[in-house]
Amino acid sequence: MFKKVLIANRGEIAVRIIRACREMGIRTVAVYSEIDKEALHTQLADEAVCIGPAMPKDSYLNMANILSACVLSGAEAIHPGFGFLSENPKFAKMCRECNIKFIGPDYETIEYMGNKAKAREIMKLSDVPVVPGYEGEIRDEKHALEIAENIGYPIMIKAAAGGGGKGIRIAYNEEEFLMGYKTAKAEAKACFGDDTLYIEKFIQKPKHIEFQILADEYGNIVHLGERECSMQRKNQKVLEEAPSNVLNEELRIKMGEIAKRAALAVDYKNAGTIEFLFDKDNNFYFMEMNTRIQVEHPITEMITGIDLVKEQLRIASGEKLRFTQDDIKIKGHAIECRVNAEDPEHDFRPCPGVIEELCVPGGMGVRIDSAIFAGYKIPHCYDSMIAKVISFGNTREEAIVKMNRALSEFAVGGVKTNIDFDLSILQTKEFLEGDYDTTFLSEMMVKKDA
Ligand code: ADP
Ligand code: ADP
Ligand code: MG
């Protein structure tokens, strides 16, 4: 096992990783930007190295500075968390060249999966069902229009390099297509520095169901069941639960086996997620693979009893998986609500500032993953997620009761949050019945405004 690990991230995920390392007796090195000098991850790690000014490109995306910090501190491995450099093949490659273990898959795998059009191609060759669409090169706008017409409206235009719900447009007709094509291209260029697009059939009222997998470096692979992530606002997840209320055991086994096949197709190593769209007729299609730990990983941990970050560390250090598929048992039900510093009254605009008062929920079956404390100043230059509330119960009903209780205890003074919005989701008939799709939240908000 590693003796010292550098965590190339900030916020709750950096804290989450530091905690796992500490329990395993691994020394930790935090990296921080100038604005994060007092941040919790900076304080909790055994060592902390400043890697530059606040803007991500100068610090958390600054590969040279992070690698220097790693070499100077003598850390043997880097955990990239999610976001930032976690899905950057260049960074993973540089780690290898510096003889530092990147805690994740090989850079070649990240590269294949990072281009979502390429990923579709590989999956098709491995008999993994993909959304009907076109992943070849699009010559120009006229060609794009032809492709859209061949697939048939409605279609979805997506950035090949996309992530975080960015660079996605829906088009129901030619006019919308031409507009969406232009804006998606511009957004992709601005967000990812790559304006390659691909076109897919828009699946009407789908559910987003994803499978967690773990693979070691010797070809052993297991899946840890699914997460239901259909509660989304602008293609970004807000609430997740596991298991999904709509999968029966037969479908779970079928999708799980296909998820493993998808991972093996790219010689996958470490923790990863296969995202599927699931339609009204129980058809499912590969959407993308996230080659990293996921924001919503705690719900899988709660129902399987497996600490995914510790498994990532074990796999990266060369250990074999300690369990087979038969050993994985799903027990109970878990829900996660993302708590963001944002203002639901004003189109959820980010709301940075000082947390003046803070009361964090607790009690049996409630887990909080966060990096905030009273007096903490939320910076303006990073993601607005400040905490994840995770509830666990023997049944779905129990998990819902606990989530309601936990969210109503959660008091954050000084900044606006979406806690009441999360609470309002829990009261809806659709959520209570466990049958909702990715269009539900936007429809709920339209009704509320009407
Ligand atoms: P998940 O699939 O784990 O739910 P999200 O899509 O919500 O992940 O993204 C996880 C985090 O990573 C978010 O903070 C998001 O802003 C960030 N993120 C996602 N994709 C990218 C990307 N390509 N570049 C930078 N940050 C990203
Ligand atoms: P990101 O990398 O930003 O997470 P995804 O490809 O995973 O992008 O898509 C984000 C979300 O957009 C999905 O969770 C789903 O709600 C919606 N979506 C993506 N592709 C389709 C599609 N073909 N039809 C309908 N909805 C889609
Ligand atoms: Mg996704």
- Predicted confidence at residue 438, as pLDDT, reads 96
Pocket test for ligand 1, best of 10, 116, 295, 382 (most atoms within 8 A of CB): 295
**97 pLDDT band (50/70/90 cuts)?**
very high
What is the dihedral angle through the alpha carbons of 382, 383, 389, 390, rounded to the nearest 10 degrees? -120
pLDDT 10s digits, 171-212: 999 999 999 999 999 999 999 999 999 999 999 999 999 999
133-201 and 207-449 share one fold: no
Residue from 10, 16, 169, 292 carrying the catalytic annotation: 292
Which residues share a beta bridge with 78?
A: 6, 102
64 compared with 136, residue with greater pLDDT: 64
Per-residue pLDDT band for 445 (boundaries 50, 70, 90) equals confident
Average pLDDT over residues 385-393: 98
Q: DSSP E strands: which ranges in 145-206? A: 155-159, 168-171, 197-201
Predicted confidence band of residue 448 (pLDDT cuts 50, 70, 90) = confident
CB 336 within 8 A of CB 241: yes
Instruction: Give yes or no for residue 206 CB within 6 A of ligand 1.
Output: no
Percent over 90 (pLDDT), the chain: 96
Helix, strand or coil, per DSSP, at residue 372: coil
Ligand 3 centroid to 235 CA: how many Å?
8
When pLDDT is averaged across residues 104-112 and rounded to a whole number, the result is 97
Count the neighbouring beta carbons within 10 Å of the beta carbon of residue 373.
Answer: 13
pLDDT at 103: 98
Break the chain into its structural domains and give their ranges: 4-103, 133-201, 207-449
Q: What pLDDT digit, counting tens, does each position of 425-441 carry?
A: 999 999 999 999 999 99
Mean pLDDT of the chain: 96
Report the top-level CATH class of 207-449. Answer: alpha beta
State yes or no: is 322 an active-site residue.
no
pLDDT at 449 over 80: no
Q: Is pLDDT above 90 for 364?
A: yes
For 152, 235, 346, the CA distances from 353, given in Å and listed in that order, are 46, 26, 16
Ligand nearest to the backbone CA of 294: 1
3-class secondary-structure state, position 186: helix
Q: What pLDDT, on the 0 to 100 scale, is given for residue 409?
A: 98
Pocket of ligand 2 (CB under 6 A): 131, 156, 158, 162-165, 168, 200, 202-203, 206, 208, 232, 235, 275, 277, 287-288, 438
The CA distance from 240 to 238, in Å, is 7
Q: Could you tell me the pLDDT band of residue 328, with boundaries at 50, 70 and 90? A: very high
Calpha distance 354→414 (Å, rounded)? 6
Nearest to 370 by CA among 381, 380, 359: 359
Confidence of residue 248 (pLDDT cuts 50, 70, 90): very high
- Nearest ligand, CA of residue 87? 1
User: Which one of the ligands is nearest to 273 CA?
Assistant: 1
CATH number of the 4-103 domain? 3.40.50.20
Per-residue model confidence as pLDDT tens digits over 6-63? 999 999 999 999 999 999 999 999 999 999 999 999 999 999 999 999 999 999 999 9
Confidence of residue 164 (pLDDT cuts 50, 70, 90): confident
pLDDT at 91 over 90: yes
- CATH superfamily name and code, 133-201: ATP-grasp fold, A domain (3.30.1490.20)
Tell whether the model's pLDDT for residue 327 goes beyond 90: yes
Residues forming a β-bridge with 223 = 213
**Stretch 337-354: mean pLDDT:** 96
Atom of ligand 2 nearest to the CA of 201: 23
Nearby residues for ligand 3 (ion, Cβ within 5 Å)? 275
Neighbour-count burial of 13, counting CB atoms closer than 10 A to its CB (0-12 exposed, 13-18 middle, 19+ buried): buried
C-alpha distances (whole Å) from 441 to each of 297, 306, 422 are: 22, 31, 11
pLDDT at residue 264, as a whole number? 95
